[in-house]
A and B are shown apart, each in its own frame.
Chain A
């Protein structure tokens, strides 16, 4: 009797595989990066812990079943929040409530640069197709280039579920790595003279009516040209509208604190749960990480090159460095531009201009996703 009882205890250990051990180490690595180096701790802590949990044998946290109450705990949360795309959309309400688009509104011509930051997405899609990914998988991977976590999750939970873990971890990792990836490219592509370009002081004074109307106009415009993007842009702009309307402080506060915190926790643990050894430890994961890096490099290159063109046309009034801020990693990318500008000329302050481009990049990445969805549906690939 004693022996059989002991056997019960050892069962878990007997089922432990090398792959699971590797994935637990990956989980520990994510947690280490978050605690020791401050890499996106809000996400990597729950993701890392989820990755450890789901790779312990026989725990059945992600168990599938026809009968709903026999499903694993994390499976229930995953199906309810991620497969329905509710989590990323709720997160967008919070992001919208935190975002301040006034630097963008004060400086609208800069929107071109925010658009240029999205080219990397489309170029990466072409590359992913060449590597043999399906059209939908390729689009999901390309979105990593937006440096936009929730959009990546939204897209892959819908069209590339098996890649969800890899894509979201790649998206959040590269978002955190923006300060390392971007500066060498920026220096490589610009001359010292261009980097020392000083720009006029930007005074942000946007009237309240403009700020209130902006989210409504963007919603109508985007949904008309790319209706498939309505859940994303709609929720983002709803959050922003709550804040700018000025009369529902309680709702705006909840959106940017309680709502986004609760959803981030649940989302993180679910993404961790998709990182089981049999799904994650594949060559595909490495390809996704490589392509994600390519996407961000291409975004930066396109942004800075357009910045150089605008430098020419403005007769040296626009510093091409700000083009690098056209991605969604907010405010990391703007900070990088400020630092590089000041490095070339200590008296140079590009932050406000970079923040304008960066705020545009946040909208730009969602719009790029929306346009991609509408294109795919126009081509009959999705319904």
Chain B
């Protein structure tokens, strides 16, 4: 078991969280809707696993490389 951190690719704002703690996720599933420079984009999980902890909330302004959520892989 290991933990994978999902980080913000750039400065921006969290629009929506598609998952909650404890959810099962599959690789490349969109987990966070993110906005930067008025452009919305999906952030996908790079691994299969279970959402362990969500560290941000919708509307929150995020720095580049800030951790958004963690995923526990099997």
Contacts and interface: CB of A to CB of B under 8 A. Distances in A.
Given A204-B11, A352-B10, A334 B37 contact: yes
Contact of A331 (B11, B37, B41, B64): B37
Given A204-B11, A351-B10, A351-B36, A346 B64 contact: no
Contacts of A204: 11
Interface in B34-65: 36-39, 41-42, 44, 46, 64-65
Interface of chain B: mostly helix, strand, loop or mixed: loop
A25 B36 CA distance: 39
Interface residues of A, number: 17
Contacts of A338: 39, 41
B9 interface: yes
Nearest to A355: B37
B44 A347 contact: yes
Interface string A270-292: 00000000000000000000000
A75 interface: no
Interface in A344-362: 346-347, 349, 351-352, 355
Contacts of B21: none
Interface string B7-46: 0011100000000000000001000000011110110101
Given A201-B10, A201-B64, A204-B11, A352 B36 contact: yes
Interface of A: 100, 201-204, 331, 334-335, 338-339, 342, 346-347, 349, 351-352, 355
> Which 7 A/B pairs are nearest by Cβ-Cβ distance?
A349-B9, A346-B44, A346-B28, A352-B10, A335-B39, A203-B64, A201-B64
